[in-house]
Amino acid sequence: CLVPDYLPVRKACWIRDSKMYNGALLYVIPIRNWKKVSSHFFCFFLKASTNELSNGWLVNIPLNAFCHASTKYGAFKELNLKWFAVPAVSSMCMDAGGIYFNCVAFNGWYMNTEIGRDLTEALRYDKLKVIATVLGLDTRSNVSLWKDEVLLETNKAILHSFNKAGVTIVDLHTATESFVKHWENEMKLRGGTPSDWEIPRLPKISIKFKTLVECLVPILKSLNAKLKTRPKCCILYASQTGKSKNFSEITYKLFSKVFQTKIMVLNEYNLENLKNEELVLIVASSTGNGDSPTNGKLIEDKIIEFNNNNKKQVRSNDNVSMSKVRFSILGLGDSSYEDNFGSFPKLIHAFLKRIGLNEIYPLVIADQKDNEEAKMLFWLKNALQESIREFRPKLKLNENEIGQILDSKLLRAKKIKLRSFPFNGNKSNEGNVLFNLSKIYEKNLRPFEIFEKDILGYQPNDEPIIRLKLRSKDFETKYVPGNHIEIFAQNAKENVEFILSRLNNSSNFDELVKFEVFDESWSTSTNVLWLNDKKYPVMSIRQALTHYFDISRPLSQEALKNLASQALNERDREILDSLATDWKKYESWKAEYPSLVDVLKTYESVNPDINNLLAVLPHLKSRFYSISSCLNKDKNELEITFGVLKNESKFPDSSHYGVCTKFLADSPIGIVIPAEIIQYNQIKKGFLGILKSNKFILPDDLSVPVIMIGTGTGIAPFRSFWMQRDLKLQNRLNSDRFGDFILFYGCREKNKDFLYKNEIEALKAKQVLSEFHIAFSRDLNFPKEYVQDKLWENSDKIVDLVVSKKAHIYVCGRTQMASGVAEKLNAIFAKNLQLLGQEHDDSFIQQLKNQNRYHEDIFTS
């Protein structure tokens, strides 16, 4: 019989009392000219492959007694007992559906009693009396229980030796506990273990699938009937980066314990079904300047359309039909966008109240800059308590049980372990960054090559402003002016190398590894279960720290707690512990924006374990950039415009650059980066390639006037606007009518950061730009002005275009500028509309937004 994959044959042969067991195999040895070994423990192999076995691939564990202090245990060691580490078996036959597979190979890990039996049983190695003699036991009578004592000491020696060698083994009691827990979980999940569902095969009797289904249907109907007695709960989410989705799944797990719960992405939900719900929970984030995530955009458009078509209060009959439905909303946002913080969840909240739904718990907006996780947990706990109080489900959770669930594992970082992944040299996607990023983020990323790079000017900190041309590889790009491209950057090489140098794991950082996650539900205190983590594909440790995990953002308190536990210096441990537990200290420390590198340089006694470190590091987020070009004859190219971001650091020998801008600025011509673009009107499930910012695209009607307002690199999307306008003017027909095309632009100095100066002047001369107004805020040769001042100077023109000719306004730049522009425009409309005798209120800009005539593309830094 042949043994595939170099697996050993179970107890090939041995001789005892002149009797040979499995003796036929012994005759193979002289035939094959194998070297005889004078030992009780000699493993030999039959193999199917022609490749030679490498030396030392089979690990033998020498068995040493647990205690070495006594002379008798020293004698135990001299017995030279040993056993191989892997319980590989290939001498059994597998019956699968009546087909017999001989010599099926399989392996697992040992239970200590298996080895104990092999060593002591009479028909195996029969070492029972030998060990008893060494231990000085009285073997004259069974009443002394000397056999039991030999087995106990042998099993203790086995466990001690395997653990000392670092080889997995399980004791009988742990295995029993694990099975009991498995059985309890099976009973809880499906009312019985799989064996309870097994139908034994009887001679000459077979069961048809239809019969099996008929047996199961009543059971399934009974389970469904029990579920239907629970109150219904619908959980909806809209997520751009995955945070809202993850927390909605946590909400689903918790509410499923007492409610009949379903979960859906917001875009896929039919608002007409609201009247059929009992409880609706929504977890929704705001992207950028309060805009909806891509997978919530359809609902946002429907709500805005509803509000525009229903200026008056909704009919009372409709409100009554909805009044029985309860709802609560958790919003996620960024307070950096002050004026529109959490706008999307607030929009949904106002809509649901307007159509008559009753709030079971008030709206909560969690700010990513202010203890976001605590607010998320606060909402979840209180929303669950109020829901239980309102609907009174038969199965209830008290406050202590809710607290235990929330504190135990819902938001705690997963324990992960990296295991070596054998690479067979075949072409595959293992370690392919583009493929892996696409899989992790559920995207269709494409390779873009850096084709051209120019410095347009310099920022106040002397960092460059760059025009970058990207060329797609082997595919045609499609986009419209105003769209964005999503780029996945790399962490700085020097930072990655420094972190690798500080890891306490002595391993090959370029070796491919797979991620395994600790399964808490199936593990016991003494026996843990690790499962493949489907979230992470195969990659190397160097790739993980370069492409997938963020090492630049301030560490979370959980991460600091993790590092504190690995600090060798008491002072380092105390400081890190303090930051991990004191929120005020942490916020003050976090404001200095320290990176992982800063922490490791400051606390030199911390040498983190890579498994623990990756468990608490956040993902490296993609960055969005406005496309500053338009499609021309060469449809494989696009351009972006950006300034290299640099923050002042209080940490010595540390420069805090923006991850993506620094990466793009330093990357040589020809390097390929993962990115994605899609057309404006393409919205896919889980597809976030182009971030639409409040429909930041030009109107289809060329006669509609366009007013563009931007500062600094906020000019980027307007360049794509005027390039498209130029092409249309060149190809215009006699019937084409073009409306006003006006640009208001602000910068600091004419010769330092006036971007695309020559291009703008040429466009003005060609009448592509009907008007151009520029404000310099720091140039000694010009009066100090801001773009708002230029708006005020041209207020009559703006009011006429917006009110009379239905012009569209586009604003692009930092949040402070956008707020100032909106405030100035409101003042302009207030002044001029009053002179015209027309009504005006402070929501005029909001009215323009609702009409999709006021568009913002805003960033914080």
Give domain 697-859's CATH number out of 3.30.379.10, 3.40.50.1000, 3.40.1160.10, 3.40.50.80.
3.40.50.80
CA atoms of 811 and 818, how far apart (whole Å): 7
CA atoms of 161 and 85, how far apart (whole Å): 11
CA atoms of 578 and 530, how far apart (whole Å): 32
State in words which class domain 417-616 has. Answer: mainly alpha
Residue 33 has pLDDT above 70, yes or no: no
Residue 6 has pLDDT above 50, yes or no: no
Annotate 165-191 with DSSP letters as a single string.
Answer: HT--EE-HHHHHHHHHHHHHHHHHHHS
The per-residue pLDDT for range 225-235, each reduced to its tens digit, is: 777 778 899 99
Give domain 4-170's CATH number out of 3.40.718.10, 1.10.1060.10, 3.90.1230.10, 3.40.710.10.
3.90.1230.10
Residue 270 has pLDDT above 70, yes or no: yes
Domain boundaries, the chain: 4-170, 229-410, 417-616, 697-859
Global model pTM greater than 0.85: no
Mean pLDDT rounded to a whole number for the chain? 80
The per-residue pLDDT for range 553-580, each reduced to its tens digit, is: 889 888 999 999 999 999 999 999 999 8
CA atoms of 829 and 849, how far apart (whole Å): 15
Least confident of 27-41, 202-216, 740-754: 27-41
Highest mean pLDDT out of 238-252, 408-422, 647-661: 238-252
Residue 9 has pLDDT above 50, yes or no: no
Residue 794 has pLDDT above 90, yes or no: yes
- Please indicate whether residue 587 or residue 466 has the higher confidence score (pLDDT): 466
Annotate 514-541 with DSSP letters as a single string.
Answer: EEEEE-TTT--SS---EEE-TTS-SEEH
Residue 50 has pLDDT above 60, yes or no: no
Residue 308 zone, left/alpha/beta (φ > 0; ψ -120 to 50; rest): alpha
**Is residue 315 very low, low, confident or very high in pLDDT (cuts 50, 70, 90)?**
low
Least confident of 332-341, 491-500, 612-621, 703-712: 332-341
Q: Quick one: pLDDT at residue 42?
A: 56
Sequence letter at residue 164: K
Question: Which strands make up the sheet holding 771-776, listed edge to edge?
Answer: 771-776, 741-747, 706-711, 808-814, 854-859
For the segment 53-82, the average pLDDT, to the nearest whole number, is 59
CA atoms of 335 and 370, how far apart (whole Å): 9
Is there a common fold for 229-410 and 417-616? no
Highest mean pLDDT out of 75-79, 433-437, 688-692: 433-437
Q: Quick one: pLDDT at residue 684?
A: 35
For the segment 804-818, the average pLDDT, to the nearest whole number, is 93
Residue 49 has pLDDT above 80, yes or no: no
Least confident of 648-662, 720-734, 772-786: 648-662
**Is residue 839 very low, low, confident or very high in pLDDT (cuts 50, 70, 90)?**
low
**Is residue 825 very low, low, confident or very high in pLDDT (cuts 50, 70, 90)?**
very high
Least confident of 84-88, 384-388, 397-401, 645-649: 397-401
CA atoms of 251 and 329, how far apart (whole Å): 12
**Quick check: 640 and 485 in contact, CB under 8 A?**
yes
Highest mean pLDDT out of 155-159, 236-240, 313-317, 397-401: 236-240
State in words which class domain 229-410 has. Answer: alpha beta
Q: Quick one: pLDDT at residue 233?
A: 92
**Is residue 489 very low, low, confident or very high in pLDDT (cuts 50, 70, 90)?**
very high
Q: Quick one: pLDDT at residue 719?
A: 96
For tokens 């995955």, the residue is: 242
Highest mean pLDDT out of 153-167, 421-435, 658-672: 658-672
**Is residue 51 very low, low, confident or very high in pLDDT (cuts 50, 70, 90)?**
low
**Is residue 7 very low, low, confident or very high in pLDDT (cuts 50, 70, 90)?**
very low
Highest mean pLDDT out of 189-193, 240-244, 813-817: 813-817
For the segment 337-356, the average pLDDT, to the nearest whole number, is 86
Residue 682 has pLDDT above 50, yes or no: no
Q: Quick one: pLDDT at residue 450?
A: 95
